[in-house]
A and B are shown apart, each in its own frame.
Chain A
Amino acid sequence: MSEKYHNNFLKEVEEMVEEGEWVKMCMQCGVCAGSCPLGPHWAHPPQEIFMMIRAGKREEVLRSDSMWMCTSCYNCVVRCPRKLPITHIMHGLANYAHRLGLSPKNQPTQQFATLFWNNLAQTGRVNELKLSLGIYFKDGFAQGVKNAMAMQSVGLGMVKAKRLNPMELFGGHGVKDKAGFHAMLKKAREIEDRRKNFA
């Protein structure tokens, strides 16, 4: 349990979250919040997230969907007067919450990000068709057909422009050394999990 305005949660973030050791350096100017393209959609802009971490609000932070609003535009990073890697901290927090199973269920960006990673991890390269279909069908078959129909003209246009290959559904691009690639990723994950005490 983390106590209010004590350092417990901050220390946890420093140890477990990518670039988390920067959180204490925020000076609460709010430039990040004002620079974010999806700013209005964040329940807690980065400035607040940082303060919440310092205030020991562990549950509120990790269960928040705010970090999932990050488009990775890096505007906050280049504007932060304290040079905090805010984008990475948001990614790191999201990843940590996701690993702990605390992040909000059905958060679309979380689903897409997971799909994306699994897609690339399978063959070593992203299969754009499967990725698109994956996102359309994330809410079940019926919704998927509906989504796919809605985007049909776009899809056809892409096929016509030779920028989408229906044959991708059956195989498509990928690395040749799949065995080595998979072993490498497995090892990397193992090392990280050990370092961060994930099971």
Chain B
Amino acid sequence: MAKKTYSFYPGCSSQTKASSDNYLKSTNSMCKYLDIELKEIPDWNCCGASIGYAEGGELPRITLSARNMALSEQHNPGMDLVATCAACWLSTRESKERLAHSSQTLAEANTALNEAGLTYKGNQAARHMAEVLVEDFGFDELKKGVKNPLQGIKFAGYVGCQTNRPFGLAGESFENPVYLDNLIEAMGGEAVPYDQKVTCCGGALAFSEPEKSQKQIKDIIESAYDHGAEMIVTPCPLCQANVEIYQGEVNKRFGTKFNIPVMYYSQLITIAYGGTAQEAALDGQLVRATKLEEIAKK
């Protein structure tokens, strides 16, 4: 396959030594194996995430994304903008829709962008890395690169919210998207069916309302365990963080004994493609994925 190039929007959590540093590292490795070049948007800013709403207001939030898209259009012309973070993708795509939908919003956003010497045109698609894998490669193509199939490992594909709703991947159902399961199977792993595949992890309320949102995390992990999963896999940094980091808290609150690794799909692909534990950033897990580490040693 010919080399593919995308305009890359990593987002705040996918920076060096930020909370999804391991997502960034493994994405870079995965792209190396897939011959994808990621051209980072120069001087990108935070998308505002969903939680930015209270103080931000509609136009400032849209303007944040418009700045990223304008920079991308200017510096990485002719490419699709690709995000790895669910919230980054959602904010960008949502802003793109609002800007396309309302000429007033577009004019206002551009007035604000002018202050930073930028103009938004709206000529790039805003996509998630999962879309790139599924649509630009496809499962059959992805399967070809597998050197160390993840045989015998049972994964719970945890799609979560914002890579799934309100946009999601084309052709997928909101209630039971299957692309992540297909991806797991393509890497030689086993995707277990379980009923909390698209349950909310609590999002930002994991910080502000831990009492209320930790039940969400408990339900997700419990269902994964009950259906025999050995690891959880997700495409979203906040899902990953919430479900992994709070296991200790959840165990305290609910008397459970959870200790399940929560991985990114990019880590699975890197390992299956013959990458090292370091390339897959397996050392970035709070709960170590020993079965993947063993495969990586081969």
Contacts and interface: CB of A to CB of B under 8 A. Distances in A.
The short answer to whether A and B are in direct contact, CB under 8 Å, is yes
Contacts of A21: none
A149 interface: no
Given A37-B199, A187-B111, A128 B19 contact: yes
B115 A180 contact: yes
B46 A157 contact: no
B153 interface: no
| Top 3 A-B residue pairs of the complex, sorted by shortest distance between their CB atoms | A180-B116, A72-B50, A113-B54
A116 B284 contact: no
Interface of B: 12-13, 15-22, 43-46, 48-60, 62-64, 67, 108-109, 111-118, 161-162, 165-166, 174, 198-200, 202-205, 207-209, 212-213, 216, 245-246, 248-249, 283-286
Contacts of A184: 63, 67, 112-113, 115-116, 118
A41 interface: yes
Interface in A51-95: 69, 71-75, 77-79, 85, 87, 91-92, 94-95
Interface string A93-123: 0110011000000001111111011101000
B203 A163 contact: no
A192 B59 contact: yes
A112 B45 contact: no
26 contacts: A38-B202, A38-B205, A38-B212, A41-B209, A69-B205, A78-B165, A91-B54, A98-B55, A109-B51, A109-B204, A116-B49, A117-B52, A124-B46, A125-B45, A128-B12, A128-B13, A154-B246, A154-B286, A161-B22, A161-B284, A161-B286, A162-B21, A181-B67, A184-B112, A188-B109, A189-B57
B110 to A, nearest CB: 10
Most chain B beta-carbon neighbours within 10 Å: one of A132, A157, A161, A175: A161
B115 A37 contact: no
Nearest to B216: A37
A157 B52 contact: no
A18 B95 CA distance: 13
A111 B117 CA distance: 32
Interface residues of A, number: 64
A62 B6 CA distance: 44
A153 interface: yes
A27 interface: no
Interface in A125-177: 125-126, 128, 132, 135, 153-154, 157-158, 161-165, 168, 173, 175-177
A188 B17 contact: no
Nearest to A189: B60
Contacts of B52: 113, 116-117, 120
Given A78-B165, A78-B174, A162-B284, A173 B50 contact: no
Given A74-B162, A92-B58, A162 B48 contact: no
Contacts of A1: none
A121 B191 CA distance: 41
Nearest to B206: A71
